[in-house]
Amino acid sequence: MKRLHRKERVAAILKILSDNPNKVISLGYFSDLFQSARSTLSEDIAIIKGVVESLECGVVETIPGAAGGVKYVSGVSKNEETEFINELCNMIKNPTRIIPGGFLYMNDIIYSPDIASKIGIIFSQHFKDKNPDYVITVETKGIPIALMTAKALNVPLIIVRRNSKVTEGSTVSINYVSGSSKRIQTMSLSKRSVEKGSRCIFIDDFMKAGGTANGIIELMREFDSSVVGIGILIESFTESKRLVDDYVSLMKLKSVNEESGEIVLYPSKQI
């Protein structure tokens, strides 16, 4: 690569760090790439820390020692998070979203790459200190937000299937009772998916009584692994006892009135 000036190099380093959130990149890597002395790069990193701070888009950390380097941890400011979740609530509260049965059509929102990315960054802020090895979700609707959470945390995604598939090889399946409908459901995961002793964050788009979350906890036990965090986009009020109590939700859905078109939904943090 041709030699870059500081103003170019600083931008290039931030671009590389930002494309690889939560990944430690050694100064040696940058030194080889840009033919620059480590002392010069340390000054570059100091400038980058200031830029990220000004943009309030996370934090750049320097990790000392032989395995050290620098990493970008993605984030959004408290204000931006609040504004974003308010905006989501307003989008969802549109009566045209009501589907017979009192469900809400949300695919356009939860499958939007932009929105899913931001939700992923918000969840990653909640769970980064749990040092997770994986993000786990159940097919299908939670996959985009779970993938973006995994990207922000720099860990692999695991997708649990509703039925075991021949293309997954040997699987572990469990039956569980859905907390709200009381129906027996199955979930299934390839034996190769998870290493023993892993720490997982479960991410899903919706939670009512928590039967699925509870099922995932049980499934992870079969892998000698544990669920160290649960992130839910929307939790719904339920009269049955909730089966899990330690979780983070971004929004709470109180009621959907099919006749009047009223949807009572608010950010979880307001409570």
**Interface residues with a copy of itself (CB under 8 A)?**
1-2, 4, 6-8, 10-12, 14-16, 18-20, 47-48, 50-52, 54-55, 57, 99-101, 103, 105, 107-108, 111-114, 116-117, 139-141, 143-144, 147-148, 150-151, 154, 156-159, 161, 166-169, 190, 192-193
Would you state the torsion angle of the CA atoms of residues 264, 258, 213, 112, taken in this order, to the nearest 10 degrees? Answer: -80
Cα 58 versus chain centre, distance:
15
Least distance (Å) between residue 178 CB and a copy of itself: 14
Least distance (Å) between residue 145 CB and a copy of itself: 10
Is 30 strand, coil or helix?
helix
| Pick 188 or 269: Cβ nearer a copy of itself | 188
Least distance (Å) between residue 270 CB and a copy of itself: 26
- 3-state per-residue secondary structure call for 50-100: HHHHHHCCEEEEEECCCCCEEEEEECCCHHHHHHHHHHHHHHHCCHHHEEC
DSSP state for residue 99 in the 8-state scheme: E
- How far CA 173 is from CA of 50, 151, 170, 221, in Å, comes to 49, 27, 10, 12
Tell me how far apart the alpha carbons of residues 31 and 36 are, in angstroms, rounded to a whole number.
Answer: 5
| Pick 40 or 269: Cβ nearer a copy of itself | 40
Least distance (Å) between residue 247 CB and a copy of itself: 21
Long-range CB contact pairs, 63-68, < 8 A, 24+? 63/24, 67/24, 68/24, 68/26, 68/27
Burial class (CB in 10 A: 0-12, 13-18, 19+), 122: buried
Tell me how far apart the alpha carbons of residues 148 and 90 are, in angstroms, rounded to a whole number.
Answer: 22
Least distance (Å) between residue 12 CB and a copy of itself: 5
Least distance (Å) between residue 67 CB and a copy of itself: 19
Least distance (Å) between residue 153 CB and a copy of itself: 9
| Pick 99 or 270: Cβ nearer a copy of itself | 99
Strand ranges (E), 4-160: 58-63, 69-74, 98-99, 103-104, 134-138, 157-160
| Pick 15 or 221: Cβ nearer a copy of itself | 15
| Pick 42 or 66: Cβ nearer a copy of itself | 42
Side chain identity at residue 70, one-letter code: V
| Pick 7 or 241: Cβ nearer a copy of itself | 7
Tokens representing residue 88 in the block = 């989501």
| Pick 140 or 270: Cβ nearer a copy of itself | 140
